[in-house]
A = this chain, B = another copy of it.
């Protein structure tokens, strides 16, 4: 079992495709309708929010964010532009290297992010939890 024969590889790919599409479509829809956020936009907030949790003041360099996402440099640039227009994020020049930009969560951005987090988590739990599992998915932070 767990072999790499043609059939198995195809089946594995089909399953990956199924999970990916179902999950990302619902993520997109839920985040959009409930919080007016696209999936890419939320993911940027997620990285900023996580960094912020480390007491790093919610800053992150564009390049570092790009490295953590499956998004081209140009797409990230535009995603950040959208977030900036929505007032959720601010660009700030880096003192050390003026080629680079820092990105910072605004209070409004943090608020929106915290509101959207449960929605995000709920969709993941719904699609990625094995049915027979006996854990209490909705009982944690």
Q: Chain A residues in contact with chain B, CB under 8 A?
A: 2-6, 9-10, 12-13, 16-21, 23, 70, 121, 124-125, 128-130, 133, 135, 137, 140-141
Contact = CB atoms under 8 A, between A and B. Distances in A.
**Number of chain copies forming the complex:** 2
Given A20-B16, A21-B70, A23-B16, A3 B124 contact: no
A9 B126 CA distance: 10
Contacts of A70: 17-18, 21
Contacts of A4: 125, 128-130, 133, 135, 137
A22 to B, nearest CB: 9
A121 B2 contact: no
Given A4-B128, A4-B135, A13-B128, 16 more contacts: A2-B130, A2-B133, A4-B125, A4-B129, A4-B130, A4-B133, A5-B135, A5-B137, A6-B121, A6-B140, A9-B124, A9-B129, A12-B124, A16-B20, A17-B20, A21-B70
A20 B4 CA distance: 17
Contacts of A121: 6, 9
A12 B46 CA distance: 16
A69 to B, nearest CB: 9
Contacts of A128: 4, 9, 12-13, 16
